[in-house]
Amino acid sequence: MLLNLNIIDLAVVKSLDLDLKKGMSVLTGETGAGKSILLTALGLALGDRADSGYVRPECKRAEINLEFDLADAPLAQQWLKDNELDTEQQCLIRRIVNHDGRSKAYINNRPVTLQALQELSEKLVEIHGQHAHLTLLNADEQRRLLDAYAKNQPLLDSVNACYRQWQQTSKELANLIKSSADQTEREELLRYQLEELQQLELANFSYAELLEEHGKLANLGQILSVGQTQVDSLYENDRQSVNRMLNHSLSELSHIAQFAPELNEICTMLSEAQIQVEEASLQLRRFLEAQEADPQRLEDVENRIGIVQSLSRKHHVTPDELPELVGKLEHELDGLAHSSERIEDLTASAAQLLAQYHQLAAQLSAQRSLSGKKLEQQISAMIKELGMPQGEFLIDIAAQDSETPKLNGKDKIEFLVSANPGLPAKPLAKVASGGELSRISLAIQVTTSSDKTTPTMIFDEVDSGIGGGIAEIVGQKLRSLSHNRQVMCVTHLPQVAAQAHHHLYVEKNNQTDITSSSVRLLKTEERVEEIARMLGGVNITANTLAHAKEMLFQSISGLEPGYTTQGN
């Protein structure tokens, strides 16, 4: 469960440190006091998208910290363990939003991706927004709620995995069948292209080496001429070769070195240079003697370069990519040669997957039908309690006629309701009264939440459009949910607030230039006053206070001790 919520510089909240406990907690306050910002903070910390508008004016960043006790969250414990983020029985979540809109997320002080944060959050907190009844009008949401209630997820995963395999197999099969229609023409083209490329003998082909050889053959005359000139200059010219000049310098310096010994090192360097010059000239002479003009080879290389460039342009590849192209064409040709066998294999595989899908989808339909009856009864009973005594809730599960597999099974699921006896049940979207839709929505949410393992549930004004005695029943239902989990509820209804174990009051402070909101835990006397305000508005009379006190003590016998809140 959520132990602590800490907020720094988020919108109207300068700083807030809120300790929470088990049971049902309500948040109340004047309209515009900032109740929604707490849910915004929770949403951000749990992985909602962030932007710079969340950062408090004149601040560099906003920060939200959550601390959870995982004793009642085994799925979250396992996720943390699987992702090597576990630290005993507690979990710390931190989200930072910078003034430029960028954000960072941390789990147990280690940075994580937003996707990872969202995966963990699903196992810790479930939030029901004030517009949940609008979401319920969506057919996919209705299916999801029924499957969640029926605990169909493992079977649903199998159905969808089978569907995707069938879809992939069928797509590959269709492509093969389509391509086989002009297979002969394609095979002929591939063989012709391969013959062209194979003439180049591309096994050890290097376009750079081919260009290098061409450059050498094309410039052989210049190579021989310049090379022979340099041989003469280095060694063979008796009058002024480099070797002769080095020999003269060495002789002269050696003579005077007997008077200046420090010249011996220079003489040694000249002697080594003379050896190097002699060796270089010998190697250059051997290289020149090995060269031989070969006009035919030059012509062959030029022809080969021309063919390579032509085929490169034709196939839209670089010359060095031609060997890889040969491999691709050979692979495609081999695939076409065996396509008939592949078509047979894929046909059999698709048929097998289709049969498996229908078997799994039938099991899913049966489980939905069985659970749907139970869910109908439970929601019908609850909407009767919520002020619709003649109301009946139905779940229409209709198998679609198409034999083509579909994602999430073959069923079309629709929630129906009949508000009065004798009238046909209509889809939720056609329920005329907004108040009725709110009550039906709340009944669905409470009923489908009763078997969930999420340790913390948050309801944001889901009781809108409800009042009087019905509101008291709503409060009782929310309180009943908190017997084995933590429930937080933002409400404007005193009947709901009176049912809570803990009452948090949100108030706005306008004493500074920048508005701020704070949250504090109300003591018993303060709870009476707040419930009286919710009952009577601006002018609170003695009768209103008495009514509030009566409501509070009728709802809760023996108030539980409070906990610390701090806010600025």
Q: What is the pLDDT of residue 96?
A: 94
Q: Write the pLDDT tens digit of every residue in 439-486.
A: 788 888 788 876 667 899 888 877 776 777 888 888 888 888 888 889
Q: What is the pLDDT of residue 451?
A: 65
Q: What is the pLDDT of residue 414?
A: 93
Structure tokens at 347: 């046909």
DSSP-assigned letters across all residues of 465-502: T--HHHHHHHHHHHHHHTTSSEEEEE-S-HHHHTT-SE
Query: Which of 126-140, 219-233, 531-545 is least confident?
Result: 126-140
Cα separation of 210 and 193, whole Å? 22
Q: What is the pLDDT of residue 486?
A: 92
SS3 198: helix
Sign of CA dihedral 292, 296, 299, 301: negative
Q: Write the pLDDT tens digit of every residue in 92-117.
A: 999 999 988 899 999 999 999 999 99
User: Is the confidence at residue 60, as pLDDT, over 80?
Assistant: yes
Percent of the chain with pLDDT over 70: 93
Cα atoms in the 13 Å half-sphere on the side-chain side of 18: 31
Q: What is the pLDDT of residue 190?
A: 85
User: Is the confidence at residue 33, as pLDDT, over 70?
Assistant: no
Q: What is the pLDDT of residue 132?
A: 61
- Compute the mean pLDDT over every residue in the chain, rounded to the nearest whole number: 85
Query: Which of 419-433, 485-499, 526-540 is least confident?
Result: 419-433
SS3 13: strand
Regarding pTM above 0.95, the answer is: no
Query: Which of 75-89, 146-160, 371-385 is least confident?
Result: 75-89
Instruction: Return the CA Rg of the chain.
Output: 42
Q: Write the pLDDT tens digit of every residue in 408-432.
A: 999 999 999 987 777 788 888 787 5
Cα separation of 278 and 300, whole Å? 37
Q: What count of residues does the chain have?
A: 568
Cα separation of 525 and 263, whole Å? 109
Q: What is the pLDDT of residue 432?
A: 53
- Alpha-carbon distances of 335 from 7, 183, 396, 411, rounded to whole Å: 61, 11, 48, 39
What single letter denotes the amino acid at residue 17?
Answer: D
The full set of domain ranges for the chain reads 1-124+456-568, 186-337
Sign of CA dihedral 341, 343, 346, 352: negative
Query: Which of 160-164, 389-393, 464-468 is least confident?
Result: 464-468
Q: What is the pLDDT of residue 558?
A: 42
Q: What is the pLDDT of residue 305?
A: 86
CATH architecture of the region 1-124+456-568? 3-Layer(aba) Sandwich (3.40)
SS3 259: coil
